[in-house]
Amino acid sequence: MKPWPNTIMNKSKENVVHVIEAQLVKGDGNSLTDKLADLQAAKAQGLLTETEFANAKKDILASLSDGGIGNGSVIVSSQPRRNKVHPNEATVSGSMVLVQRGSPNELVFAEAAALKAGRAVRLTLASHPSKVIGRGHAEERRYGEWRYVLSDVQNKFAGAAIQVQLEGSGFLKLTDADLVLDVSFWKFNEGTTVNFVGGSSAGRTRLEGGGRSWVVNDDGTIGCKYHQHLVLGTYPPPGEWTSAIPRISTVDIAGKWACCCIPGGWACFDKVARGEDELEHGGCVCLFFMIPMGFGGEIRRRRPNTNNFYKVGDEGNVDVYNSSKCVCNGISCSLKLN
């Protein structure tokens, strides 16, 4: 048998060779038997996982229909593999977020190589083996002109992993819907949520040059194409604070607040701390500056490791605190009165 091209067979387990793509290259004279024996040898040395072995074998056998077997070779390339599982993976949940590349909370995708090669894959995780990326809700929701589905880090046996495919311009598209992966409001900061968004046309859905362009890295992470220090990750486990931004206490936020939004109206209301990560809102709102209405019992919960509080039951409705006395939510702003 001829040696495997582009592989380093004596590498340690920490720098294991990872299949990027099994493909046939004409002209080396290897037989089908040689190719399958090569695959088996690599698997025996721990250089291929069961999934990688099965995919490579499938590709070789499928090429029989092209007449390619008999004069090709299986190509693999070296790629660092993350062997270490996140120590608190069982407690991780919520939408995907942006994290610094190399963060302990980054996501490493099990089928990154196949995704990079253009195949449709399910978003299963090597860094969090008991988790998958699923839908936060079954139906599409709307925010202005945009359709969206929240991403959700789910237990592997509780929900089905969504299937995506990498398009030529770097868009990660759901295979069963015209939605692509999007950085919320194109805010390229740690902790910004990442979900699936679509517009009213293909052009609006596939906006280039910003938060919908992605690159699959050789280490299995997925990064922002134009901000490659940021990759897909998760919130840290509950109670863990790793952000460089100081935590704003709910006790400091609590008090009387006023809000104005043109043309929506104004509001005057109380915020009450219900623990370190939860607030309750209640007061009076005047819709369109003409229709007074009372409201209460509105619960807002902190997104882990951030000073952002979302409305329970409407996770796209998020208060972003700049300080304990000022908060913004879309085009509206609120100030603390006392």
Q: Do 232 and 115 touch, CB atoms closer than 8 A?
A: no
Confidence of residue 17 (pLDDT cuts 50, 70, 90): very low
The DSSP result for 324-337, as a single string, is TTEEEETTEEEEE-
Distance of alpha carbon 254 from alpha carbon 284, whole angstroms: 16
Distance of alpha carbon 131 from alpha carbon 123, whole angstroms: 9
Confidence of residue 35 (pLDDT cuts 50, 70, 90): low
Higher pLDDT, 93 or 100: 100
Distance of alpha carbon 166 from its chain centroid, rounded?
14
Residues 6+ apart with CB under 8 A from 86: 92, 104, 105, 127, 128
- Sequence length of the chain is 338
pLDDT higher than 90, residue 23: no
Query: What are the structure tokens assigned to 250, written together?
Result: 């709910």
Greatest Cα pair distance, the chain, in angstroms, is 83
pLDDT in tens, 179-219: 999 999 998 988 889 999 999 999 999 999 899 999 999 99
pLDDT in tens, 237-294: 767 787 778 999 999 999 999 998 877 788 999 999 999 899 999 999 888 777 788 8
Tell which residue, 271, 289, 306, 76, has the closest CA to residue 190. Answer: 306
Lowest-pLDDT range, 76-90, 154-168, 187-201, 227-241? 76-90
Residues 6+ apart with CB under 8 A from 298: 280, 281, 282, 311
pLDDT higher than 70, residue 34: no
Question: Strand, helix or coil at 61?
Answer: helix
Distance of alpha carbon 296 from alpha carbon 222, whole angstroms: 41
Confidence of residue 65 (pLDDT cuts 50, 70, 90): very low
Distance of alpha carbon 247 from alpha carbon 267, whole angstroms: 26
pLDDT higher than 50, residue 9: no
Q: CA 303, 129, 180 angle in degrees (round to 5)?
A: 60
Looking at residue 269, its pLDDT comes to 95
pLDDT in tens, 109-126: 999 999 999 999 999 999
Per 3-state DSSP, the chain is made up of helix, strand and coil in percentages (nearest 5) of 15, 35, 45
Looking at residue 69, its pLDDT comes to 36
Higher pLDDT, 247 or 330: 247
DSSP 8-state assignment for residue 124? B
